[in-house]
Amino acid sequence: MLSPFVSIRRDLHKIPELGFQEFKTQQYLLNYIAALPQERLEIQTWRTGIFVKVNGLKPTKTIAYRADIDGLPITEETGLPYRSEHEGRMHACGHDFHMSIALGVLTYFVHHAINDNLLFIFQPAEEGPGGALPMLESEAMKRWMPDMIIALHIAPEHPVGTIAVKEGLLFANTSELFIDLKGKGGHAAFPHLANDMVVAACSLVTQLQSIVARNVDPLDSAVITIGKISGGTVQNVIAETARLEGTIRTLSVESMKKVKERIEAIVKGVEIAYECEATIDYGSMYHQVYNDEALTKEFMEFAGGIPGIDVVRCKEAMTGEDFGYMLAKIPGFMFWLGVDSAHGLHHAKLSPDESAIDKAISLLTTYISWKGNNE
C-alpha cells in the first residue's frame, strides 16, 4: 500500500510553482493542515508561505523545522504518471519531498504531544528571489522565534538510509551575477564604425575566469560560472548590447567580497577598452549554510544509533541555500537525505527514491521527540 506521504509528494509534484507564486501549493498545504486536529495548532500565513505552531505540554523552548516549497523553471522529462502538470515547471530540487516529509512530521506531533513547542515553516522562493530572509524578519517569526532550527535537502548521490552532514560550513555563500553591456551597433561590413558587444562579452568572460585563478587564496575555494550569454539580433549586424548571466560561489564571506571587487574592476576596464557602458546586478545573494557545531555533532551521534540509518560525514559543497540566513540567527543544522537518483539536482529527469520519505519522517520524529522531551 502506498504511504500517504508518498501520495502527498506525488500530488505536490504535479503542481510546481515558482518563487512567491506558490498559490496552489500553499492552498494544498493549508487544506491538509486544516484537516488535522486543531486543539494545539496555531497557523499563520505569510505571502505564499505558512507558519504552523504546535503548542507543547510544558514548553521550555521552541524547535523549528523548515521546508521549502517552490519549484524550478525546468521542463520535466521523467515520463512519470504524476509528472508536472505546469508546463515549463518542475520540482527538480526535491522540494516536493521536503514538503511531504514536513507534513509527515507535523502529523505525528499533532497526535503525539511533546513538552516543547514546535514551529513548522513552509518557506517560499528558496530557488529565487529568496524567501528565507524576509520570512525571518516577519512578525510571525518574531513572535514565535525558535531556539533551534532543522532542515534537510535531498541528495541524489547518496543511497536511501544515508544521512550526510558535517559540523560547520556545509553550503557556500552564493550570489547571482548579471552583467549588461551597451555599445554601438552597426553593419557587419563596417566594424570600425561600431563597438561590438559580442566581442566585449567574450573578452569579459575570459577575464572573469582569471579571478579565481589569481585573486582567491588557493587554500580557499570560489567559483565564477557564466551560464548564459545573449547579444545581437542577426548574423550580419554588429551587436549593440550583450548580457552575461552567471553565479558566484565562495566558501568564505571574505572571498565573496574579494571576488565582487575584482568583477567590478574588470568590468570598468572593459568599459574603457571597448568604449561601452556596463551595469552589474548581483540578483539574489544567499548566506553560507553553517551548521551549529554542538547540535550537529549531537544529531550525528543520535542518528548513528538508529537502525537503518547510515551517517556519513560529508564535505562542504558549492551549492547554495537561503536556509543559511536562518542559521545565521538561530542555532541549528541542515543535512543531506539520501534519495538514490541516477540524475542530479535541477535535472529534468531527477527521480528520487520515494522510500526515503518515510525514513526521513521516522528519523525526524524520533530525534525531535527526544530533543523536545529531555531538556
Would you please indicate which residues are annotated as catalytic (active-site) residues? 68, 127
CA angle 76, 77, 83 (to 5 degrees): 60
What is the number of alpha carbons within 13 Å of residue 55 lying toward its C-beta? 7
Task: List CB contacts of 263: < 8 A, sequence separation 6 or more.
Answer: 177, 208, 211, 224, 248, 280
Q: Residue 313 corresponds to which cell in the numbers above? A: 560525514
Please count the CA atoms within 13 angstroms of the CA of 321 that sit on its side-chain side. Answer: 32
Distance CA 226, CA 232 (A): 18
Measured between alpha carbons, how far is 231 from 212 in angstroms, rounded to an integer?
Answer: 25
Read out DSSP for 148-196?
A: EEEEEEEETTS-TTEEEE-SEEEE-EEEEEEEEEE-B-EETT-GGGSB-
In this structure, are residues 145 and 117 in contact, taking their beta carbons and an 8 Å threshold? no
Q: Where are the beta strands (DSSP E) in the chain?
A: 41-46, 49-54, 62-68, 117-123, 148-155, 162-165, 168-171, 173-182, 186-187, 222-231, 237-238, 241-250, 277-281, 285-286, 289-291, 310-313, 332-338
